[in-house]
Amino acid sequence: MPSLIDIRRRIRSVKNTQQITKAMKMVSTARLRRAQERVINARPFSRMAGEILRSVAAAASGAESVREHPLLQPREENNVQLVIVSADRGLAGGFNTNLIKAAQQFIAERPDQKIELELLGRKARDFFTRRPVQVSGELTGVSLTAGLPEATALAEKLTSRITAGETDAVYILYNEFKSILTQKITIRRVLPVEVQAGPQRDYIFEQPPAEMLARLLPKYVLLQVLEAFLESAAAEHAARMTAMDAATTNANDVINKLTLYMNRVRQASITREIIEVVSGASALE
Amino acid sequence: MAGMLQLEVATPERMLLKEQVREVEVPGAGGALGILPGHAPLLSELGNGRLSYVLENGHRKWMAVCGGYVEVQSDRVRILADSAENADEIDVNRAAAALKRAEERILNPLPGIDVARALNAVARAQARLAAIKSAR
């Protein structure tokens, strides 16, 4: 039977852990709000840019340079680049695990293709650098703060590689922020860009639409990358918040159980002592 | 209300402005564009420069915008800028310092300096300074 002191020590240790999980939960809750705002603030621009892209594409659809534009032209996918947006830190429930599983599944589904990974976040890097996969680049330490500068750099790399013919398609894999309780693993093809030409309106074009489209496409790619970054940051905060909330509740349960057990042990030892005293006294009679 | 334009200015990171205005002047890539309500639909790229608009009460306001797109419809102007700042948000000293730094880079190009980027930086800084100057 464990001694009282051992159990007390155990309770204290669980309490300490609980304080940490509680603090982490509160930090994530506070930051989640800001991350959510960033997602929401970025939405109008993406929406409008999408509309403009469709208008321009409709006007430019006839031009030959457009049909053969490397960022638009779908081709056989032999060399595929997969961008994985993971977190730098764990303790966020299934956030990273689910993501990495989805990535492995993606790779397994395409045995004939050469797949290069672009890894964001320490967790994805730690996992994949030790495995036999091709890694084209990595970025760590910014999973929660990544914004326009990081997205710009990555988008430039992705577009220049596809323009140079080194890759045929680019997919991005990330956790989408559905609600505070759910994150959805999302995989989306970023390149070549798929444009549904919108209704043709009679715009006056200051620049030839085909040229405008050529300059608009890289920006559209950038927006999709940025959106993935922002969504992933919000999702990470939300995942950590729920995970830490559950951990705090669990710690409470453990403490309750241990306290009950400790009391029972104490009761037992008192009872034993009484019996000893009583039987000792009766032996003297 | 008739005779007004809905002006929306957005950057990739936030929605900067949503306002009813009487007129807008936009720094298009091919020169300034003045837009009044009832303008024909138009799509243009933006240059770097000063955007100004007139509020319902007749006050004129300025902002600096750098690169992007403008979409005009008869009752609406949408600006999608790579970056944009209200004139009263701009730090004069920072803009002036950035201008000087960029000019220096063009005048004494060190190896490895991207002149096109420096030129762009000059244009951006000038746009900011112009916006402040007008707002004063």
- Nearest CA to CA, how far is B15 from chain A (Å)? 6
Mean pLDDT within A120-140? 90
The architecture CATH gives domain B5-87: Sandwich (2.60)
Mean pLDDT of chain A: 89
Q: How far apart are CA A146 and CA A4, in angstroms?
A: 50
- Residue A10 clears pLDDT 70, i.e. is over it: yes
* Section A57-61 average pLDDT: 80
Distance from the B34 Cα atom to the nearest Cα atom in chain A, whole angstroms: 13
| Consecutive H or E run containing B25 | strand B14-28
- ipTM value greater than 0.85: no
**Higher pLDDT residue, B86 or A240?**
A240
Q: Which residues of chain B make contact with A210, given a CB cutoff of 8 A?
A: none
B78 contacts A48? CB cut-off 8 A? yes
Yes or no: say if A117 and A137 are a contact pair by the CB < 8 Å rule: no
- CB A187, CB A173: distance < 8 Å: yes
Going from N- to C-terminal start, the domains of chain B cover 5-87, 91-135
- Over 80: is that where the pLDDT of A200 sits? no
Q: What is the pLDDT of residue A177?
A: 92
Helix ranges, A110-208 (H): 122-129, 148-163
Measured between beta carbons, the chain B residues lying within 8 angstroms of A225 are: none
Domains of chain A, earliest start first: 4-25+243-280 (1.10.287.80), 32-241 (3.40.1380.10)
- What is the rounded distance in angstroms from the CA atom of residue B16 to the CA atom of residue A174? 28
The predicted structure's pLDDT at residue B108? 77
Burial class (CB in 10 A: 0-12, 13-18, 19+), A253: exposed
List the beta bridge partners of residue B43: A205, B71
Confidence of residue A109 (pLDDT cuts 50, 70, 90): very high
Instruction: Evaluate whether A181 touches A95 at the Cβ level (below 8 Å).
Output: no
Q: Which of A92-96, A193-197, A209-213, B73-77 has the lowest mean pLDDT?
A: A193-197
Chains A, B: CB pairs < 8 Å:
70
In the CATH scheme, what is the code of domain B91-135?
1.20.5.440
pLDDT in tens, B15-59: 888 989 999 999 888 888 899 998 888 889 998 888 889 998 888
Residue B2 has pLDDT above 60, yes or no: no
SS3 category, A179: coil
Residue in this structure with the two tokens 């006056």, named with its chain if needed: A204
Amino acid at position B87, single letter? A
Using CA coordinates, name the residue in chain B closest to A39: B13
pLDDT at A154: 92
* Chain B residue nearest residue A42, CA to CA: B13
> Which is it for the CA torsion B72, B78, B82, B83, positive or negative?
positive
Which of A148, A200, A210 shows the shortest CA–CA distance to B67? Answer: A148
The shortest C-alpha distance from B99 to chain A (Å) reads: 20
Q: Other CB atoms closer than 10 Å to residue B35's CB: what's the count?
A: 20
Burial class of residue B68 in the structure, from the number of CB atoms within 10 Å of its CB (0-12 exposed, 13-18 middle, 19+ buried): buried
Per cent of chain A over pLDDT 70 is 96
Number of other CB atoms surrounding residue A219 within 10 Å: 20
Q: Do A48 and B40 touch (CB under 8 A)?
A: no
Q: Quick one: which of A212, A218, A215, A216 has its CA closest to A59?
A: A212
Classify residue A256 as exposed, middle or buried by CB count within 10 Å of its CB (0-12, 13-18, 19+). Answer: exposed
In this predicted structure, what is the pLDDT of residue A73?
Answer: 80
Predicted confidence band at A1 (pLDDT cuts at 50, 70, 90)?
Answer: low
Q: For chain B, give me the number of helices (H) and strands (E)? A: 2, 6
Q: Residue A232: is its pLDDT beyond 90?
A: yes
**How far apart, in Å, are the Cα atoms of B135 and each of B25, B88, B91?**
14, 8, 13
Entry field: residues in chain A? 285
* DSSP symbol at B39: P
The pLDDT confidence band at residue B1, using thresholds 50, 70 and 90, is very low
SS3 content of chain B, % helix, strand, coil (to 5): 30, 50, 20
Q: How far, in Å, CA of A175 to CA of A94, rounded? A: 10
8 Å CB contact of B45 and A212:
yes
